[in-house]
Amino acid sequence: MTTTGGFSVTIATLIAAGRLDERLLEAALARIHSAEFTRWIDRGDAADFESPLPPQELRQVLEGWEGADVIVHTSGPRQKRLLVADMDSTIIGQECIDELADYAGVKPQVADITERAMRGELDFAGALAERVALLEGLEFETIAQCLAERIRPNPGAETLVRTMSALGATTILVSGGFTAFVEPIARKVGFDRFEANVLEVAAGKLTGSTSGRIVDSHVKQEVLVRACEELELRPDETMAIGDGANDALMVMAAGLGIAYHAKPVLAEVADACLEHHGLDALLWAQGINRARWIED
């Protein structure tokens, strides 16, 4: 949201990669009273417009548009200087603990607990302990096999992270999963640092427990807040991305909180939802055109 001559307007980015033509743009503007086109970010892909509606009201008007994502901006700098992202089902397309559980023959039990925890139906720490206990006795080296065979970054993840880093932002991967997965994913995607849980290992096998503090929703929020203090940033200079209940506090604390293919409990509190495009679309949301992207 910006103020021009004492009058507040809300800026929104309309994203429909490869198909954003004049007809679609006009249809978007017709939905909103007094909305105006302001600029193309990338012609045919993403454009900005502004409206006198407040951010939450504008989001409600535009939600549910098939094939298009709309990012409604709150106050603060458009280009963010800190990115804090969840990993499972956000930066990567899988839930690592569910995939690891498949090697132990207990995936249905573990996946059911994961799903309920992501919906906010279970206490996260208790759900984590219950799932880890089911992995007791699994060979630690199975994690490397699982990473190689099953774990893949989501579309656009590397472009988003590497571009923001190249433009001077700090990037942090924060996960309720495990360092044995998070560290190699952080390195592959290009994050500056990471925070995650630690699996206990004895004689080369998982003990069924974790060690140290549990990275829950409060810790994720704390990571963002402390990074702001360390980097001397305002909250409105930050962006956070997640998909489940465990990400809600972090997403709400950020200047731009994004729910990515998210559970309703997170989508309801986020500033915007990304449903139809890869994570690199969040560069358009920051006003960064494709010519500046760091792509493979």
CA distance 79 to 73: 11
Contact 70/272 with Cβ under 8 angstroms?
Answer: yes
The predicted structure's pLDDT at residue 28? 81
The predicted model gives 209-217 an average pLDDT of 95
Give the residue extent of every domain in the chain: 1-75
pLDDT band (50, 70, 90) for residue 6: very low
Which residues, including other chains, have CB under 8 Å from residue 258's CB and lie 6 or more apart? 71, 239, 240, 241, 242, 251, 270, 271, 272, 273, 274, 282, 285
CA distance 230 to 207: 35
Q: Which residue has the tokens 């465990």?
A: 246
pLDDT top residue among 88 and 26: 88
Token couple for 117 = 């925890």
Q: At what angle do helices 142-150 and 179-189 cross, to 10 degrees?
A: 40
The predicted structure's pLDDT at residue 244? 93
Q: Is 242 helix (H, G, I), strand (E, B) or coil?
A: strand
What pTM value is reported for the model?
0.93
Over residues 117-137, the pLDDT tens digits come to 988 898 899 999 999 999 999
Q: How large a percentage of the chain has pLDDT more than 70?
A: 97
The predicted structure's pLDDT at residue 7? 42
Statement: residue 151 has pLDDT above 90: yes
Rg (alpha carbons) of the chain, rounded to whole number: 20
Bridge-based pairing of strands 170-178 and 69-72 is unpaired
Topology (CATH) of 1-75:
Alpha-Beta Plaits (3.30.70)
Statement: residue 33 has pLDDT above 80: no
The predicted structure's pLDDT at residue 1? 55
CA distance 282 to 272: 11
Q: Mind telling me the catalytic residues?
A: 86, 88
